Structure 1
């Protein structure tokens, strides 16, 4: 019997090839022919899955955001299973935004490159807003859970605290990308900022 193509896997293969080229060379180095060579397939096959470059851009952006979000969720699941303090769970999960290894560096460059394009593309802007809203919502929930567990003082503005923590993580990601992962201890900086919000101790039943 003929092998049935896994269409989701094929789209992901094309998107990852596009992401590698974008991360290495910027938009000037990306074309369907270059992506086809990188992915080891034909231009016609790319056109079968993506009607144009805009469709590939949006799918690639969603793919990069989705992979990052899944790692964040995995960190949360692992942390909660281990009954770690919310501050530690938040630090581990937000570290996934930092380009500290090859995979995260590629994703960072893709997100930054496509986010810049989002200023002129409504489709990409929708993806950027959803991704930003999801991250903000996650950090807000972590702060609110911290209040319930006694790690955050009652009365702390969860929205303001979440924006501060998230802005720090995103700013650190920029600095790491420009200076290199070994230039300074980015997770330690993020830990200190989180500690300005998570100032309390866990209730005894959470220990």
Structure 2
């Protein structure tokens, strides 16, 4: 009887292999062949899921953005919980590249930005994912305002845009750092961004 393979699990397994390679070698080390070897699969098995390195990268970026949205979606404030500033600080600090996987995510994000400047397909993908993330942030900020953590006068769209810029900056600036680099400056930047929302 033929082995039944869960397609989504296989694709995520391949994306995880790509993340590991990107963390160790950068995207220059990523190819269908190297990802297949890292995942313990044949090149043919990877090609059945992804036709090219570009498709692999787009899927890996989707996984990263989904994880970011999920982290912000878990943010809860109120009695017995963190206040909004504390919860936001926690989520932003969790995004810093403090381990191999998060460093890979930062490197993939930065590489995607570079490609999007010259490749319309990458630009469209990034535009779509950025809009999804912006909508997630707006839902979060509306929730925070409903909980009394933000004033009625707070410009939620501008605040969501600021969060996008902060995350872009954190990831793009950290993508060039080695895995064990100190992140004191990045942590200070998170603190400064959070304080802006406390005012």
Settle same-fold status: TM greater than 0.5: yes
- Measured after TM superposition, the shift of residue 42 of structure 1 is 1.0
Say which is worse superposed, 3-12 or 174-183, in terms of deviation: 174-183
Could you tell me the TM-score, scaled by structure 2's length?
0.80
1:153-193 alpha-carbon deviations (Å, 9 max, x no partner): 33222222332343234323444444555341634532332
Q: Secondary structure at the match of 1:151?
A: coil
Say which is worse superposed, 136-145 or 106-115, in terms of deviation: 136-145
Q: Secondary structure at the match of 1:51?
A: coil
1:114-133 alignment runs, 5 A limit: 114-133=112-131
| 1:55–1:162 Cα change, 3 Å | closer
Equivalent-residue separation in structure 2 for 1:57 and 1:44 (angstroms): 17
Q: Is the 8 A contact 2:137 2:160 kept in 1?
A: yes
| 1:175–1:82 Cα change, 3 Å | farther
Q: Secondary structure at the match of 1:66?
A: helix
Aligned length: 197
- Measured after TM superposition, the shift of residue 82 of structure 1 is 5.2
Q: Is the 8 A contact 1:13 1:39 kept in 2?
A: yes
- Measured after TM superposition, the shift of residue 62 of structure 1 is 1.3
Equivalent-residue separation in structure 2 for 1:82 and 1:105 (angstroms): 33
Q: Is the 8 A contact 1:140 1:162 kept in 2?
A: yes
Structure with larger Rg:
1
Equivalent-residue separation in structure 2 for 1:128 and 1:80 (angstroms): 33
Equivalent-residue separation in structure 2 for 1:136 and 1:94 (angstroms): 15
Runs of at least 5 residues in structure 1 that lack an aligned partner in the other structure? 200-207
Runs of at least 5 residues in structure 2 that lack an aligned partner in the other structure? none
Equivalent-residue separation in structure 1 for 2:147 and 2:72 (angstroms): 21
Residue of structure 1 equivalent to 2:90: 92
- 1:104 partnered with 2:69: no
Residue of structure 1 equivalent to 2:155: 157
Q: Is the 8 A contact 1:18 1:35 kept in 2?
A: yes
1:120-199 alignment runs, 5 A limit: 120-178=118-176, 182-184=182-184, 186-199=186-199
Over aligned residues, Cα RMSD in angstroms? 2.8
Residue of structure 1 equivalent to 2:55: 55
Equivalent-residue separation in structure 2 for 1:140 and 1:67 (angstroms): 17
